Structures are given as C-alpha cells and as structure tokens.
Amino acid sequence: MSAPEEESRDTETVLACGEVRTCLLPTRDAVDEQVAERLLRLRADERVRLSRRPNRHAVSPDILTGVDCRLPTAGGAKIRAVGTVTARAALVEGRVLQATAHFAAPADGPDRRQPWGYYLVRPGVLVPVGRLARQAVVKGFLTGQQQDELDVGSVAESLLARISRQHRLLDYDTPLNTTDTSLRWAALPAADGEPAAPHFTVADDGRRVVELRLPRGTSPAAAATLCEDLALHDWLLTTVADKLDGLRLGSADGRAALKVLRPLVDHLLHLWMPQARVDRTLNALWQELEETPGFSRQWTSLAQRIRDQLAVQLLTRSDALTAS
Amino acid sequence: MFAASDKGGTGRSVTSANLAYHRALDGDDVCYLDFDFGSPTAAAVFDLPDVLSEAEGRGLHSYLKGKTGEPLRVDVWSRTEHPVLRSRPGGSGRLVLLPGDRTGGEFVTDEENLHRCVDLVLRLKREFDVIIVDLSAGRSYAMDLALAATSPRGGLGRLKTRWLVYHRWTRQHVMAAAELVYGKQGIVQAGVAMGHETDALSASIRFVRAAVPNLDSPMWSQVSAAQYAWMRQCDTQLEEIAAARGIGKTRVLSSIPLEPVLQWQERLITDEDVHDRRIANVETWQKMGELAQRLTEDKHWGQL
Amino acid sequence: MSGPGTVFRETSAQPRTESVPFSHLSLELGHLYMEDFAEGPARLRRHFAAVRPWVDAARAAVGPLPAGKRPRISTCFLIDDYFSRLSTPAELIPPLLQAAAEAGLSIDYLARESGCAVAEPGHRDRAELAEAVLHRLVESPPPGSNGFRPPVSRTGWLTNGRRTPSHRTSAALDATGAVWEPPSETGARGHSVFVDVELWSGPEEERLWSCAFLASVWQLVRLGLLRHDGRAVLTPAPWDDKEFPAEWDALPPVVRLNPLAAPFTAYATCSVLPARFLPVEHAVRVVLDQVHVESEALRQIAERSAAEGMPVPAGIVDRTSYVFPPGL
C-alpha cells in the first residue's frame, strides 16, 4: 500500500468536465423542504444538504457511476479512461431541479486497467489508460460525443429520471411548459496571469457550452457549483424569454397573455439570485458573464416587461369593467 | 393519448397526426411519438422525407432498446416539406415528432424498456401539453408497454391518460374493435392484470369511427333510391351491433367522415386544402378539429 | 503537492466522520444455520473442536508487528435470526458459549444477522443498513460502459462482468440480435468465472436481503467501514447479564460478552467457515469489490494502521481472508 502523499499525487487532476441538466420540477406548486429532502435522498446513509439563505436550496448526496470507455476527442485521438463520474441533484426553491454529472482527470495513468478498487478510492476521477491529451479532450467533450464515447449527459439525465419517477411525491401537473436545458462545461487551469474568462455559447435544442479557465487549486466540486449556477440562470432567461416571445399581445381580452404571464410571476421571477453559493474565488468569472452577454441586464429587462404587461392588462380590464 | 386500432387501414396514424396538428394550431405544445413498431409512418404524414433515414439508430426503437440515450426529435414546423405547414401560424404551439426507426420492427418488451418508456414520457410531460402515442394495429408489445407504464405501479399512473381506439365503419371492424377492447386478452383485461382498475380504465377509452360515409353528403346524392335505402339500413344495423358490443354512440368521441383526399394520400388536411384549393371537405376539417377539442373535454369522458 | 500540473485540489475532507477503535484482526468462529443448533450440544462441540486449530493458526499469522507489540485480536460469532427463528436467545446462546468454552475458545462479540439488514433498535429513523450499503454500490463497468447503463438498484443483481445480452429484446427478423454471446468476467485472467449475485428478492417495499448481501454488510461492519451520516453503526453494546432475553429483538444487534475483549472492528478479518459457504463468500467478494466506502473512513484507517507499522491493503476485498477447514 502506498503512503497517503503518494496516493494523492497520482490523482492530481489537470482537467475537469461536466454537464448540468436543468428542468422544472414536475409539480403544480413548489415543494417544501421536507418533500425536497425526500426527493433528493438518493442514498440512505447520507443526508440531503439543505440551506435556506439566501434562498432555499437542497443538494443530494453524490452518486458515482463507473465507466470504462473512450473519451470524446477532437482530431480522433483514441483515449480510453476508467473510473467514476460523480453526479448529484439540486433543487432550487423547491421549484427548479438540476442534475450535474462531472469528472476530473489526471495527466496520465497506468498502461492497463487496474482492479476496480483502485478507481473506487478516487471518486469522480477518470484515470486515462496512458496519457491524456487535455486540449483534444476539452475540444471533443464540448463538441459532443460520438457513439460509445463517454456520455456524462446520460448520467445526469438518469438522475433526473430517477427523481422524476417518485410518483408519490409528484403530481406531474406543471403550471407551465418549459424546455429542459443542458450545459456542458470543461475547465482547464488558468496560466499565470491569464484572465479567467469563460466562453459561453448558446446552441440549438437547449444546449449550452461553457469553457472555463479556473484558478489553480479550485476543486472540481466548486467548478460544478459555478456551472450549476450558470445553468440555472441561463434556464430562467431562456424560459422567460421564450414565453414572452410567443405572447400574443393585443388579443381581445388579454386573458391569453395573463395565462402566460401569471405562472412566470408565481413561479420563476423570484428565483433570480446569481452567485448565491458560488465559491468566492470564482466571482470574477460571474462578473465576466455579467459584462458579456450580460445575464442580469437581460433579466432585469425581461422582468420589467412582464410587470409592465401585467399592469397594462389590469388597466385594460378595469377600463372594460368601467365601460360595461 | 394512446392511439390504438383493431386492424390496419383504419386511419389511426393519419387521424392522430391531424389531431396533433389541430391541437398545435390551437396553441398547445404537442408531441407525437411513433410507437408503430414495424411500420413507422408518421414521418410520411408530416411530410418529413429525410427523417426516415435520419432516425436510423436514433429513433424510438433504439431508445427503448437502450441503444441511444436521446431519441431523435424533429420539429415539424421547421423541417416539413409541406408548403403550408412550413410557415408556423402565430399563436400556435410546438409540434414535435419522435420518429420510430425504419428497421425497428416489433420486439418483445421487458422491464428495462418499461423504465425507458416511463422516463421518456415523464420528460416530455415537462415540455408538452399533449403527448400522442401512435401504437401498432392490433394487440402489440407496444400496447403492452403502454398499459404497463400507465398502470398504478408503472410510473405514469398519475398522468391523465386517454385511449382512442380507431375502427372503420364496417361489421368486421366494429366487432374487431370491440374485441380489442373488451375481449379476451383485450385492452381492459390485459390492463386489469397489470393493476389497472376496470372502471377507471374503461372510462379512459373512447372510439373513433373512421372513414364513415355520411349519407347526407353530396357524395351520395347520385345513388339510386334502392341503394340509398340499403345503405341506411346497413348504417342502422351497424349502430345496433356497435351498441350491443359496448361501443355505441355514447362511447364514440368522434366520427371522421370518408374523405377522398385521405383515400389517396395519408397526409394532414390543412385549412388551405379546404378553403383555397377546395380538395378536401370542410366537414373533415371540422370533425378533425372537434376530435382534437374533445380529447381534453372532460364531459366526453368518464364512466358511463 | 502543487507541481506544475496541479490544478484541482482534493475535495475537502468531511471532518464529521466518527472514528472507531480497531483491533488487528477480527476472527469469526464459524457460522451455523438454525437447524444446526437444533441438533443439540454435541453438534456445537464438534463445530468448535474443528475450528480450534485454525483459530490458533490465524492468531499466529497476524503480523509481523513491531517488537514488543501484542496483536489485538477479537473473536465474533454471527447468529442467523434473519432467515429463520427456530429458537430464542435464552435457549440458544448459553449452550453455544458453553460449547466454545469447552474447545478453549471465547466468543468476544455476538451479532445477529438481522442487525445487518434492518434499522437499529433505538434508531428507527435510520434506514436499513443493508439499503445504505446497496446505495453505495458502484458497479465495476465492463469495457465499453460510457455512462448510459441502468443502475444496479433497478435489477437487484450484481455481476463481476458482462451478462449475456437478453434475447428477448431482439426484434423479429433482426438478424443482429440473434447470435448468442457468452457472459464475461471483467479483468479475467484468460477465461472467465462469471458470477451474478442476487442482492434481494421480493417487492421493493418488503425486500428480503440475500444471505450473500448480508454477509457483505457483516464484513464491512467488522472492517469498521460503515457510517450513518458520519456516525458509527452497530457499535457493540456491553452485556453483563448471565441471562439472555426470550426475544431476538430484545438483544442488541452486536453485544460484547467479554469485557476485556479487543475492539470489535479490525483492520482485517478472518472467517473460519464450513466449505458450503464458499459460493456465498465468493459473492461477498464480488460485492465488496464494488462498494464505495466513505473516503474519510478509509483515510482514518489507512493513517492509523500505517502509524502502527501494519498498513492495510488499499482494496477492501484484500482485507478479508477465509479458512474453510475439513470436517466443519
């Protein structure tokens, strides 16, 4: 058996990647803390982490999934990796459900697969068989995997599915239709003096891609938390913007508009709270995103539009009442 | 909504697709799942010629068999070759097709398929108001899967589920449809064996009569008096047979008239076909709309 | 440890993990079915007489320890009160202890098998121990596993490799699904010894845990690797009474019969068992190989055993050993 220092040295990781899936919890109303805890209690011996400040937030214990497959790479390099992907689910204000699956990887590993116990003591680490071409993996991972290559999205999705199947706790009667989003992220260490600028890209079908440069010493879990926060706020923006896009204003009695606007106010508007739980060392990254594309700016404008619309609708209705 | 039929050629797929189209026009977000293992046809009805080959290895069969994690989704409005459908009307909802694999074929289902089916429907439920599942004709494994998934223990038990059983307006079809629902190894019996309650399940099943000749329509105005009388008599007799087998008028959600356009081509009937080109009957358009409406109007459903 | 390649630090340790005391070896003095007990004291005497020489051998094999250190060894015995309850503790335990004593053996700790399965008395809020372990299973992925595969909790079976693909899912006229493929053991040396372990039977709400799975929990308990929300589980309760209760549930899951005994939990285990348990213990090894133990519990043991000059092997399976003597 190797000494503890040796153990940790060969799991020094040089790359972290993951995917966050975000959706509305399939219930009519937001669930309370007790239900949130029961939904996220994915392991019997470990508690669901609950916090109430600055908003209600519940996080499940980590769940590991074993994989032994090729990593997606740009340029077709064949890199096999073995180990575990770590996944967890989070529930924001009892309303928005997120699942994140992520892994970190060291620069190289043994030339053949080791006994499984070797990987189980390195939770959330995929050890390459041989050397890891980091840049190629980051590019390949963000582009999307080919068949039989690592599929972290499925790991996150299966966690969402597992929670969604708890039909004793869910009524599946959501107050509004929303589209799920998936956010893929990959993080490499920032070179000395390199700005920690994130690249945030919006693709079709609810896909988002984020490439990060993180300060040395950031834990993969902290990176995952940052990306969950990004995914949550991107999902809110996407959902609200979509609803406003399809809105038929000027319809006769405005009831159609109210039908769309009400649920937004009741269920989503209060959820905007960037950086509620993000590690302080990563604040700069959020600030960059506030500059471009300007998350909060867009949100403020959307929220204002909703409030204005509601005010107009109410005025129109009271006018109609007075007239009749 | 599950669309079943006793036999092929009942217009099940084409009517269900039209139903989906009408719901989307009315502003609902609609999703259409082609579970017709063996002969997926929805891509053709929605005029999506490329989708068949695209769905190879990525369609619903591949998903249920666990070969792919994400079944292919096709946005009908943006992908269709149909000239009218291509311009999505304002205020309309989403219309998305999940096609079957071309070479999927019928297969025996197991526990894993069931879980995948449940996971998929729960996921779609977050995004869509109406989910339409087109099953193969007759008793099929797809139907087994649907019944198991919607049973109280199956995972979809809390979703509002409705069954439409399509049949043609002939003696053989009426009897076969009644047998499919109430007969031995029929939907009700099989469902109860899987944990459904008889009353609740029967209450969620309605019939759609397809290609029904409307004797008052101009189409039949040229027939002789004798022919007319004979047809009337047949119609009355059929109504009696249907009533005796528990699929009489009260159990019928809608009757879709015989529509020449559909006899020639399995396609969507659009507003334009009726009003501008005048190739389809306005009555067909209205009946399709009526069917779409009644699908979610509770007064047409429930225990009788 | 901040070399040029280092980027991400380790996830912070969980300081709330309770530590437990450790012996060098936990020695199990056999296992019997309820029917064996029914055969009477002579059967028990024969059992312990056959066990005795191997116990001595196992004791002698501990070490080597640094000069002047005496090995800490505790003995234990597991009674099956989960699958059948033919007798009561008051009737069953005294003759058992008597028979062991006649062979010159002392049972330091007595455990009930249902303690490995159900919630602990007094901790009704805690979920079943076996269920907690079930949730800690991380399947060893056969090559080609890319994350899209159903988790073990769905099926209730655990393998050491890849199963034969199910015939039932192949489509009619689908030639590709028709060929039989053999199962395979992951990491086999040449040829496979494929094992598929049933973890439980019955519906989810009233699971009956399998003997193999409870035996795996029993090994993890003896190795001091289980925690509930950071706290130790199945901590031995002292038992000073001469009398034993008439109900199994009135007896704590693990009782300490010898007040001077070395700690119950140990760096390593040795079980002296009848050979008929060989398949069960093979299954136990398949399970132990795929249990993800809380890293802080692992770390504590690694540090302390290393400090004692007797570092434990990294793999959990490698901390267990067996003797299957003749005539048992």
A246/B contact by beta carbon, under 8 A:
yes
- Mean pLDDT, rounded, for C123-143: 83
- Is the CB of residue C323 less than 8 Å from the CB of residue C273? yes
Among the partner-chain residues B69, B107, B112, the one whose CB lies closest to the CB of C148 is B69
For the cut 70, the answer to whether the pLDDT of residue C188 exceeds it is yes
Optimal mutation site among B68, B107, B114, interface C, most CBs of chain C within 10 A = B107
Contact A148 C146 (CB under 8 A): yes
Q: Find, among A183, A244, A221, A223, the residue nearest to A23 by Cα.
A: A183
Optimal mutation site among A148, A171, A172, interface B, most CBs of chain B within 10 A = A172
Question: From the CA atom positions of chain B, what is the Rg in Å?
Answer: 19
Confidence band of C91 (pLDDT split at 50, 70, 90): very high
Distance CA C249, CA A186 (A): 53
Distance CA C265, CA C25 (A): 8
Contact A178 B122 (CB under 8 A): no
Q: What domain range is C311 assigned to?
A: 23-126+234-275+295-323
Which chain C residues touch A7 with a CB distance below 8 Å?
314
What pLDDT, on a 0 to 100 scale, did the predictor assign at position A5? 39
What pLDDT, on a 0 to 100 scale, did the predictor assign at position A293? 81
- B/e letters for C68-84, b = 16+ CB within 10 Å, e = fewer, are eeebbbbbbbbbbbbee
Distance CA A194, CA B282 (A): 68
Contact C146 A150 (CB under 8 A): yes
Query: Exposure of C106 by Cβ count < 10 A (0-12 exposed, 13-18 middle, 19+ buried)?
Result: middle
Strand partners, C112: C79
- Is the CB of residue B180 less than 8 Å from the CB of residue B187? yes
Among the partner-chain residues A165, A171, A180, the one whose CB lies closest to the CB of B126 is A180
Does residue C317 lie within any of the structural domains? yes
Residue B64: closest CA among chain C residues belongs to which residue?
Answer: C169
- Is the CB of residue A130 less than 8 Å from the CB of residue A108? yes
In C178-217, the residues whose Cβ lies within 8 Å of chain A are 186-187
- Mean pLDDT, rounded, for C186-193: 92
Name the minimum distance, in Å, from the CA of B109 to any CA of chain C.
Answer: 6
Output the six-digit token pair for B290. 């009526």
- B/e letters for C170-209, b = 16+ CB within 10 Å, e = fewer, are bbeebeebeeeeebbbbbeeeebebbebebbeeeeeebeb
ipTM reported for the complex, 2 dp: 0.85
For the cut 70, the answer to whether the pLDDT of residue B128 exceeds it is yes
Strand partners, B9: none
Q: What digits encode the pLDDT tens for the residues C196-205?
A: 999 999 887 7
Among the partner-chain residues B73, B119, B157, the one whose CB lies closest to the CB of A167 is B157
In C147-176, the residues whose Cβ lies within 8 Å of chain B are 148, 150, 154-155, 166, 168-174
Confidence band of A41 (pLDDT split at 50, 70, 90): very high
- Is the CB of residue A123 less than 8 Å from the CB of residue A62? yes
What pLDDT, on a 0 to 100 scale, did the predictor assign at position A319? 78
A263/B contact by beta carbon, under 8 A:
no
Which chain C residues touch B111 with a CB distance below 8 Å?
154-155
Contact C135 A217 (CB under 8 A): no
Q: H-type helices in B46-170, by residue range? A: 51-54, 60-64, 76-79, 111-127, 141-150
Distance CA C302, CA C313 (A): 8
Confidence band of B218 (pLDDT split at 50, 70, 90): confident
Residue C204: closest CA among chain B residues belongs to which residue?
Answer: B153
* A272-281, C8-17, C114-123, C150-159: least confidently modelled range: C8-17
Which chain A residues touch B155 with a CB distance below 8 Å?
165, 167
Q: What digits encode the pLDDT tens for the residues A190-226?
A: 887 777 678 888 887 789 999 999 888 889 999 999 9
Instruction: Reduce the DSSP state of residue A199 to 3 states and report it.
Output: strand
* A62-76, A236-250, B18-32, C152-166: least confidently modelled range: C152-166
Residue B104: closest CA among chain C residues belongs to which residue?
Answer: C171
Among the partner-chain residues C154, C172, C173, the one whose CB lies closest to the CB of B115 is C154
Residue C299: closest CA among chain A residues belongs to which residue?
Answer: A4
- Is the CB of residue B77 less than 8 Å from the CB of residue B46? no
- Is the CB of residue C222 less than 8 Å from the CB of residue C76? yes
Instruction: Give the dihedral of Cα atoms B172, B176, B182, B186; nearest 10 deg.
Output: 170
Residue B124: closest CA among chain A residues belongs to which residue?
Answer: A179
CATH node for B2-295: 3.40.50.300
For the cut 70, the answer to whether the pLDDT of residue C111 exceeds it is yes
Q: How many residues does chain C have?
A: 328
End-to-end CA distance of chain B: 20
Contact C136 A189 (CB under 8 A): no
Which conformational region is residue A294 in: left (phi greater than 0), alpha (psi within -120 to 50 degrees), or beta?
left
Does residue C225 lie within any of the structural domains? no
What pLDDT, on a 0 to 100 scale, did the predictor assign at position C10? 38
Which residues have a Cβ under 8 Å from the Cβ of B142 and sit 6 or more positions away? B35, B36, B37, B106, B109, B135, B136
Output the six-digit token pair for A188. 């490499």
Q: Find, among B250, B203, B274, B300, the residue nearest to B18 by Cα.
A: B274
What pLDDT, on a 0 to 100 scale, did the predictor assign at position A268? 96
Which chain A residues touch C302 with a CB distance below 8 Å?
1, 4
Distance CA C295, CA A223 (A): 21
Which conformational region is residue C130 in: left (phi greater than 0), alpha (psi within -120 to 50 degrees), or beta?
alpha
B69/C contact by beta carbon, under 8 A:
yes
Which chain B residues touch C157 with a CB distance below 8 Å?
none
Contact A167 B127 (CB under 8 A): no
Global confidence as pTM: 0.88
Which chain B residues touch C166 with a CB distance below 8 Å?
110
Residue A164: closest CA among chain B residues belongs to which residue?
Answer: B122
Q: Find, among A87, A86, A65, A84, the residue nearest to A126 by Cα.
A: A84
Q: Find, among C284, C277, C163, the residue nearest to C223 by Cα.
A: C284
- B/e letters for A264-285, b = 16+ CB within 10 Å, e = fewer, are beebbeebbbebebbbeebeeb
Optimal mutation site among A45, A158, A212, interface C, most CBs of chain C within 10 A = A45
- Is the CB of residue B149 less than 8 Å from the CB of residue B118? yes
Long-range contacts of B235-243 (CB under 8 A, 24+ apart): B238/B169, B238/B170, B238/B171, B238/B174, B241/B171, B241/B174, B241/B175, B242/B174, B242/B178
B108/C contact by beta carbon, under 8 A:
yes
- Mean pLDDT, rounded, for B73-102: 90
- Mean pLDDT, rounded, for B139-143: 86
- Mean pLDDT, rounded, for C85-94: 90
For the cut 70, the answer to whether the pLDDT of residue B285 exceeds it is yes
The total number of structural domains that make up chain C: 1
Other C-beta atoms closer than 10 Å to the C-beta of C33 total 14
Contact B123 A154 (CB under 8 A): no
**Which phi and psi (to 5°) does residue A195 adopt?**
-70, 145
Name the minimum distance, in Å, from the CA of B92 to any CA of chain A.
Answer: 9
Instruction: Tally C-beta pairs within 8 A across A and C.
Output: 158
Which chain B residues touch A206 with a CB distance below 8 Å?
none
- Average pLDDT over chain A, rounded to whole? 89
What pLDDT, on a 0 to 100 scale, did the predictor assign at position C126? 57
Contact B107 C148 (CB under 8 A): no
Confidence band of B304 (pLDDT split at 50, 70, 90): low
C308/A contact by beta carbon, under 8 A:
no
Output the six-digit token pair for A199. 């690249």
For the cut 60, the answer to whether the pLDDT of residue C151 exceeds it is no
In C293-322, the residues whose Cβ lies within 8 Å of chain B are none
Q: Find, among C45, C31, C84, C94, the residue nearest to C208 by Cα.
A: C84
Name the minimum distance, in Å, from the CA of B205 to any CA of chain A.
Answer: 21
C148/A contact by beta carbon, under 8 A:
yes
Does residue C252 lie within any of the structural domains? yes
Residue A72: closest CA among chain C residues belongs to which residue?
Answer: C146
Output the six-digit token pair for C208. 């009956």
- Mean pLDDT, rounded, for B227-238: 90
- B/e letters for A18-50, b = 16+ CB within 10 Å, e = fewer, are bbbbbbbbbbeebbeeebbbebbbbbbbbebee
Other C-beta atoms closer than 10 Å to the C-beta of C247 total 11
Angle subtended by helix axes A152-164 and B111-127, to nearest 10: 80
Query: Exposure of A10 by Cβ count < 10 A (0-12 exposed, 13-18 middle, 19+ buried)?
Result: middle
Name the minimum distance, in Å, from the CA of B79 to any CA of chain A.
Answer: 14
Q: Which residue has the higher pLDDT, A320 or C304?
A: C304
Confidence band of A145 (pLDDT split at 50, 70, 90): confident
For the cut 90, the answer to whether the pLDDT of residue B302 exceeds it is no
Contact A65 C147 (CB under 8 A): yes
Q: Which residue has the higher pLDDT, A302 or A313?
A: A302
Output the six-digit token pair for C10. 């380790």
Q: What digits encode the pLDDT tens for the residues B188-207?
A: 999 999 999 999 999 999 99
For the cut 80, the answer to whether the pLDDT of residue C9 exceeds it is no
- B/e letters for B32-57, b = 16+ CB within 10 Å, e = fewer, are bbbbbbbebbbbbbbbbeebbebbee
Question: From the CA atom positions of chain A, what is the Rg in Å?
Answer: 22
* A15-24, B67-76, B220-229, C309-318: least confidently modelled range: B220-229
Q: Find, among B20, B258, B5, the residue nearest to B138 by Cα.
A: B5
Contact A178 B126 (CB under 8 A): yes
B274: part of which helix (H) or strand (E)?
Answer: helix B271-275
Name the minimum distance, in Å, from the CA of B126 to any CA of chain A.
Answer: 6
Among the partner-chain residues C148, C154, C172, the one whose CB lies closest to the CB of B107 is C172
For the cut 80, the answer to whether the pLDDT of residue A320 exceeds it is no
Which chain A residues touch C306 with a CB distance below 8 Å?
1, 3-4
Q: Find, among A55, A63, A62, A65, the residue nearest to A85 by Cα.
A: A65
Which chain C residues touch B103 with a CB distance below 8 Å?
174
Question: From the CA atom positions of chain C, what is the Rg in Å?
Answer: 22
